[in-house]
């Protein structure tokens, strides 16, 4: 089968399609003919040699796909609700940039009713990330305010919609008037960090209360400022470190605000935790998708053979929503 295999670390130019054997079907696995694969920041970091795959996982890139079930392993339970020919999405450890992938049945969900199967590839990674961090880890409560950094990326566009659909007020930082307009259309109050101080603006928009939750992909550069923008009993959840891994924090302010700083990753979690997250997504998020309150925001699709160009576009940071690969 055709796939994009990890080779020498570097820029987009190191990516190319090659022929590899199809993956073996695990007893609890679901073989999927890939219709589309999502590109994520983790893929770019892996390409650069900064995000190794978990032990034993495929060296093929890709953390999420949509596609059609080709085969079920003998230990896939009957109550999994999966059958050959079903259209599904899957959360993966790796392996998505390919014509076929095998995913654990517990990490496979049906494509939500009314959603195009290709566009659905933009859902599993971001839905699992947002739901697990905002609603499981940070234990968001209805009526709270969440500050989402990077509101027009794949995670950001999903976070705005999910948080709104599940009863939160959303503020978000963006880097241009065009992105501010897109964030507002999705339901957030946008803060252009190039023109405004986001800490001051958060305080203004919340009448001095601050954000109850901060979902941060920026990392070190925003650590102290996130704390300044935080409400009493607030929670900062760091899911990315685009600006670096080391920052300074005023512990006096942290204690005075009775705040928490939590760091998480999704890819390296044990299979049981991922199964629990996907079960939560199916119960709480899928109904919102099927009701049209959460939609996959797809910016562009590229043929798998143009994976290098797709990553170059992804790295440019100009996209609003997801970038997908189509085998």
Q: What is the pLDDT of residues 8-18, one digit of tens each?
A: 999 999 999 99
> Count of domains in the chain?
2
Which whole number is the average pLDDT over 245-255? 91
109 and 132 in a single domain? The answer is no
- Tell me what the pLDDT averaged over the chain comes to: 97
At 134, the pLDDT band (50, 70, 90 cuts) reads very high
Say yes or no: 246 and 179 in one domain: yes
Q: How many residues are listed for the chain in this entry?
A: 327
Beta strands in 151-244 (DSSP E): 169-174, 189-192, 211-216, 230-238
Pair type for strands 189-192 and 169-174: parallel
Residue 243 has pLDDT above 90, yes or no: no
The answer on 248 and 133 residing in a single domain is: yes
HSE-CB at 313 with a 13 A cutoff on CA atoms is 17
Residues 223 and 309 in one domain: no
Q: Do residues 159 and 148 lie in contact, with contact meaning Cβ atoms separated by under 8 Å?
A: yes
Per-residue pLDDT for 244 more than 90? no
Q: State the pLDDT confidence band at 102, using cuts at 50, 70 and 90.
A: very high
Measure Cα distances from 185 to 161, 189, 196, 236, 289 in Å.
10, 9, 20, 25, 17
Q: Is the pLDDT of residue 326 over 90?
A: yes
Domain enclosing residue 217, as ranges: 127-263
| Per-residue pLDDT, 180 | 97
pLDDT at 241 over 90: no
What does the pLDDT look like over 157-190, one tens digit per residue?
999 999 999 999 999 999 999 999 999 999 999 9
Same domain flag for 32 and 48: yes
Share of the chain above pLDDT 70, in %: 100
Query: Where is the domain boundary, 241, 263, 285?
Result: 263
Answer yes or no: do 220 and 133 share one domain.
yes
Band (245; pLDDT cuts 50, 70, 90): confident
Q: So what's the pLDDT on residue 49? A: 95
Question: By three-state DSSP, how is residue 142 classified?
Answer: coil
Q: Among the three residues 263, 281, 301, which one is the final residue of a domain in this structure?
A: 263
224 in the same domain as 108? no
- The b/e string for 223-236 (b: 16+ C-beta within 10 A; e otherwise) is bbbbbbbbbeebbb
For position 280, what pLDDT does the model report?
98
Same domain for 218 and 278, yes or no, is: no
Kindly tell me the sign of the dihedral angle through the C-alpha atoms of 66, 67, 71, 76. positive
The answer to whether residues 133 and 239 belong to one domain is: yes
pLDDT in tens, 45-55: 999 999 999 99
- When pLDDT is averaged across residues 199-223 and rounded to a whole number, the result is 96
How many whole angstroms separate alpha carbon 226 and alpha carbon 236? 7
In this structure, the answer to whether residues 242 and 148 fall within a common structural domain is yes
Tokens at 98, concatenated: 């390919």
**Are residues 199 and 87 part of one domain?**
no
Give the pLDDT band of residue 220 (cuts 50, 70, 90): confident
pLDDT recorded at residue 94: 98
How distant is the alpha carbon of residue 271 from its chain centre? 17
Domain boundary among 217, 234, 263: 263
For residues 254-260, give the mean pLDDT. 97
pLDDT band for position 242 (50/70/90)?
A: confident
Closest C-alpha among 201, 170, 202 to residue 186: 170
End-to-end CA distance of the chain: 10
Looking at residue 117, which CATH number applies to its domain?
A: 3.90.180.10
Task: Please say whether the beta carbons of 19 and 1 come within 8 A.
Answer: yes
Query: Are residues 171 and 153 located together in one domain of the fold?
Result: yes
Q: How many CA atoms lie within 13 A of 34 on its CB side?
A: 32
Given a contact cutoff of 8 angstroms between Cβ atoms, the answer to whether 165 and 294 are in contact is: yes
Cα distance between residue 137 and residue 133, in whole Å: 5
What is the pairing mode between strands 230-238 and 260-263? parallel
Query: Hey, what are 189's tokens?
Result: 């109050």
User: Smallest Cα–Cα separation from 57: which of 6, 29, 94, 90?
Assistant: 94
CATH of the domain at 137: 3.40.50.720
Pairing mode of beta strands 108-110, 87-91? antiparallel
DSSP reduced 3-state for 320: coil
């Amino acid at each position: 089968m055709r796939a994009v295999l990890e080779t020498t670390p570097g820029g987009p130019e190191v990516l190319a399609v090659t022929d590899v054997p199809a993956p073996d079907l695990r007893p609890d696995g679901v073989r999927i003919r890939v219709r589309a694969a999502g590109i994520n920041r983790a893929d770019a970091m892996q390409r650069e040699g900064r995000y190794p795959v978990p032990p034993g996982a495929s060296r093929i890139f890709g953390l999420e796909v949509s596609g059609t079930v080709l085969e079920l392993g003998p230990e896939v339970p009957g109550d999994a609700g999966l059958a050959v020919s079903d259209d599904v999405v899957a959360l993966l450890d790796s392996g998505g940039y390919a014509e076929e992938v095998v995913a654990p049945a517990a990490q496979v969900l049906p494509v939500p009713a009314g959603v195009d199967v290709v566009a659905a590839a933009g859902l599993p990674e971001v839905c699992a990330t947002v739901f697990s961090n905002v609603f499981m880890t940070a234990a968001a409560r209805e009526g709270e305010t969440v500050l989402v950094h990077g509101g027009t990326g794949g995670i950001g566009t999903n976070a705005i919609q999910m948080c709104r659909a599940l009863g939160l007020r959303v503020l978000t930082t963006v880097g241009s008037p065009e992105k501010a307009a897109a964030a507002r259309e999705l339901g957030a109050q946008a803060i252009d960090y190039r023109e405004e101080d986001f800490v001051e603006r958060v305080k203004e928009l919340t009448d001095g209360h601050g954000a109850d939750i901060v979902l941060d992909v920026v990392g070190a550069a925003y650590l102290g400022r996130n704390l300044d923008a935080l409400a009493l009993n607030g929670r900062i959840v760091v899911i990315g470190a685009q600006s670096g891994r080391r920052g300074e924090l005023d512990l006096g302010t942290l204690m005075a605000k009775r705040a928490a700083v939590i760091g998480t990753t999704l890819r390296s979690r044990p299979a049981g935790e991922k199964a629990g997250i996907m079960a939560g997504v199916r119960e709480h998020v899928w109904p919102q998708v099927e009701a049209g309150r959460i939609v996959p925001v797809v910016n562009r699709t590229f043929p798998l053979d143009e994976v290098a160009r797709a990553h170059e576009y992804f790295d440019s940071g100009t996209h609003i929503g997801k970038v997908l690969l189509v085998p």
